[in-house]
Amino acid sequence: MSSIPCGIAIPQAFTGSVDLELIRKFVTRAEALGFDSLWVQEQIISDSAILEPVTLLTYVSALTSKLRLGSSVLLTVIRNPVQLAKSLATLDQLSNGRLTVGVGIGGAHVPESVFGISGERRVRRFIEGIQVMKALWTQPRASFKGEFWKFEDVAMEPKPLQKAHPPVWFGARDAIGLRRAARHGQGWMGAGSSSSSDFVQQIEMLHRFLDEEKRNHAQFAISKRVYVAIDDDRRAERRLQEWFTVRYKRAEMATRVSLWGSRQECTDKLNQLVHAGAQHLMLNPVFDEMEHLEQLAEVIKES
């Protein structure tokens, strides 16, 4: 694993009050330990205390100077792409060009009606929203003509610091989503809620779609979000199940998608993902975050 970059998820969900000191300690220590990047998720509507991702990344950008900052993933179908383009361009400027924009379409669990948005033609809205952001990021005075957004000669400054724009990575599980990633993205991150065996099958499909789109595999990032717990087997499984019950309301999901066990067991399981084709891993501890930060840094060095 030492041969590939590894990122880590920022503490973002809290059972009680938001712990700013934990966030500060975590991200500064992650930078000192040599992780590649820091990552956030998006869940706007929740009965858990979960911080909004773009705001959190903006805060973290001021606490760090080297680590890349990524979203895994922004549910862009519930956001206005013009406003989001501005927020992300600002974040890329404030972070000195360290942003990776992870995007996803979400599923039936996304309450679009709460945001005043129709659930109809959501794939078309998703693609157009990405195209709108790219137009505003790259064209001096942007014009766009689609089904949902139409505008001409619109200026938006400053542009993102990264040119032509921050890399856009897609979250996707099924064949349609993977084809969409190959066509429109600069990378793909396998979902944390998919298993290692799912990831292997998804990579095979993705490679086929990249070939069909005549994309250069070497210029397309492949990552995997991994829920991981280094702990005694039974205790780790129980604590993962407790977290998945709170976060996803599905305790059984922990057993299907997470990696846990001793440090060596976790190292072996993560190396299997690398051998399957992962070029980047985003490690996501869900309890004892500071302890896991230190242990996972050792796993990366030793493997």
Asked if 14 and 44 touch (Cβ cutoff 8 Å), the reply is: no
User: Measured between alpha carbons, how far apart are the two ends of the chain, in Å?
Assistant: 5
128 CB-side CA count, 13 A? 18
Q: Collect contacts of 202-205 with beta carbons under 8 A, ≥24 apart.
A: 202/172, 202/173, 202/178, 203/276, 203/277, 203/278, 205/175, 205/178
Cis ω before 181 (30° cut-off from 0) = no
Whether the pTM exceeds 0.85: the reply is yes
Can you tell me the distance from the alpha carbon of 146 to that of 111, in angstroms, rounded to the nearest whole number?
24
Bridge-based pairing of strands 49-50 and 37-40 is: unpaired
Burial class (CB in 10 A: 0-12, 13-18, 19+), 154: middle
CA distances (Å), origin 162, targets 56, 91, 247: 20, 11, 34
d(CA 254, CA 235): 13
Domains of the chain (ranges; CATH) run: 6-302 (3.20.20.30)
User: pLDDT tens string for the chain (303 positions)?
Assistant: 667 999 999 999 998 899 999 999 999 999 999 999 999 999 999 888 999 999 999 999 999 999 999 999 999 999 999 999 999 999 999 999 999 999 999 877 788 999 999 889 999 999 999 999 999 999 999 999 999 999 999 999 999 999 999 999 999 999 999 999 999 999 999 998 888 899 999 999 999 999 999 999 999 999 999 999 998 778 899 999 998 888 888 899 998 899 999 999 999 999 999 999 999 999 999 999 999 999 999 998 876
How far apart are alpha carbons 41 and 33 in whole angstroms?
A: 22
